[in-house]
Amino acid sequence: MENKGFISSVRERASQWLSDRYDPETREKVRALIDGNESELIECFYRDLEFGTGGLRGIMGVGTNRMNIYTVAMATQGLSNYLKKEFNQVPQISVAIAHDSRNNSRLFAETTANIFSANGFKVYLFKALRPTPELSFAIRYFKCQSGVVVTASHNPKEYNGYKAYWDDGGQIIAPHDKAIIREVQAIQSVDYVNFKAKPENIELIGDEIDELYTDKITGLSLSPDVIRRQHEMKIVYTPIHGSGVKLVPQVLRKFGFTNIIGVDEQNIPDGNFPTVHSPNPEESAALGMAIRKAEETGADIVLATDPDADRVGVVVKSSQGRYIVLNGNQSASLLINYLLTKWSANGKLKGNEYIVKTIVTTELLADIARKFHVACYDVLTGFKYIADVIKTFEGKKTFIGGGEESYGYLAGEFVRDKDAVMSCALIAEAAAYAKDHGLTMYDQLLEIYREFGLYKEKLISVEKKGKSGVEEIQQMMLNFRQNPPSAINNDPLTEVMDYLDPGCLEKANKKNGGIVIPKADVLQFFTAGGTKISIRPSGTEPKIKFYFGVKEALKSIQDYESANNLLDTKIENIIRDLKLR
């Protein structure tokens, strides 16, 4: 990376940002990098920020490899060009735009709106921050051809992102994803961008969509009688400075809950996320203030959403009064078990219902679905694939719910992305249902384990930053692919699934009821002892992820601690065997 030719190329790319096509502040920052910070100059300009299948995500700053108004503008122009080709029979293409609380999110959203309007599109722009799932709802409501939400989800404060959606309200998948990438790559400089905004094409939206969206969520309630009896159940909720601040409490109240306890310090939208190290509900530390509030008030459950309110972290209270942080697999299992239990009890199961999970999510969901004679389909990691299954079966089969281990869940068909607003309400209802039967949510989880077996999962993310990090991750995947272990923790491998291998894909699709799993850079190892190990590079972060899933029979709830410890030891041995410790 340090050769003179490479450095010269980077400097040449950076010097183009010194022209008057860029604003004075940007030019000043680029000049400072050229004059005195070579390593940062390289990171900012050594490549273009990749517009991947999910859009853009990166550190904010100046440069071709950073999130800024120019990289956002170029991406929007490329997307605009593709929409014009795909929807050339539509009199006026329309798009919806939302954003979260991150620094520069409003600026990037307005930049996106201006460029869409300059290209002649009708633009529905939320007037203030809104949850990502509401953007999906708005696309479907306004019958838009596309949409964009400006968010970096649960990433640290330095990041922002740009997620593109299609006309079904789901994130973009094949073949459109690759075709859009080509159009974006064709925008080689800001000279190709139409910056002449047409304000008359932009309509601000807000409260009226909130009402429609939250009414649809309220229609998903399965136990209104239970909530009437348990309406005073104490719920602590925190948006962690994000976009769930308004709508999550609103939906909980619409469901009938009357005792919603906020975390005042975190009810303030703030892209610096001042009360947490990272605004990620997957990390227990991010839930610390909410748990303390629960301890002070004796709350029954804690709910926490990420900045764009598509993921939810859950903390439940045991019958002994301890607060226990659930992982994404546990929350998904409780939610799906509740939905299927109530669909069955309410006489709503007609034989054509189904759920969907990702291939790295717990197999417990499939076990629960089998009990109720409900189909369970597997998809690749990413809620866009769950949305695609819903689209495939629309009008033919009924989607009850779905989820992924990374804290994202969905019920119903009017949103086509993971929805923490909806999930908070349904998980709270499941907690009320348990309480109405004299149980805590934790008791309910242990009962599920007793019935189906104790499933234990763990995720390890290995971060590799920068250009060299990308290369390291590629090499790690190549090594595992070319030299898979014959046994892991003395447990022989019985199957290797390589989702780049056509033969493996054909086998997977046959087992999956005809739902096609596309080619992907994912490996899975299955052992004779029932262990599942999944390995994949993250699509949105500079990480390679290792997912471990093990199982043990649980004869009685009293055996839980010993069985859980046994599985912990098993996972640690597997991790050491793979030399990840």
* Residue 260 phi, psi (nearest 5): -100, 120
Q: How many CA atoms lie within 13 A of 434 on its CB side?
A: 28
Q: Which amino acid is at 116?
A: F
Q: In angstroms, rounded to a whole number, what is the distance separating the alpha carbons of residues 326 and 334?
A: 10
DSSP letter at 465? Answer: -
SS3 content of the chain, % helix, strand, coil (to 5): 45, 20, 35
Query: Most distant CA pair in the chain: distance in Å?
Result: 73
| Order of strands across the sheet that contains 408-411 | 375-379, 353-358, 398-404, 408-411
Residue 488 DSSP code: E
Q: How far apart are CA 361 and CA 336, in angstroms?
A: 13
**Residue in this structure with the two tokens 């990390």, named with its chain if needed:** 283
Question: What 3-state class would DSSP assign to 238?
Answer: strand
Q: Are 327 and 445 in contact (CB under 8 A)?
A: no
Residues whose CB falls within 8 Å of the CB of residue 36, separated by 6 or more in sequence, listed in order: none
Cα–Cα dist 212/216, whole Å:
6
As given in the structure block, the two tokens for residue 504 are 């493996």
HEC assignment per residue over 147-179: EEEECCCCCCCCEEEEEEECCCCCECCCCHHHH
CA pseudo-torsion sign 566, 568, 569, 571: positive
- Kindly name the residue from 94, 117, 153, 406 that is annotated as catalytic: 153
What gap in Å lies between CA 499 and CA 87, rounded to an integer?
A: 32
What six digits make up the tokens of 30? 């680029």
Paired residues of 355 in beta bridges: 376, 401
Task: Please state, as a whole number, how many other Cβ atoms lie within 10 Å of the Cβ of residue 210.
Answer: 19
Token pair recorded at residue 498:
């390589």
Report angle CA 212, 395, 310 to the nearest 5 degrees. Answer: 45
Q: Is 153 an active-site residue?
A: yes
Report which residue type is found at 349.
Answer: L
Q: Would you please indicate which residues are annotated as catalytic (active-site) residues?
A: 153
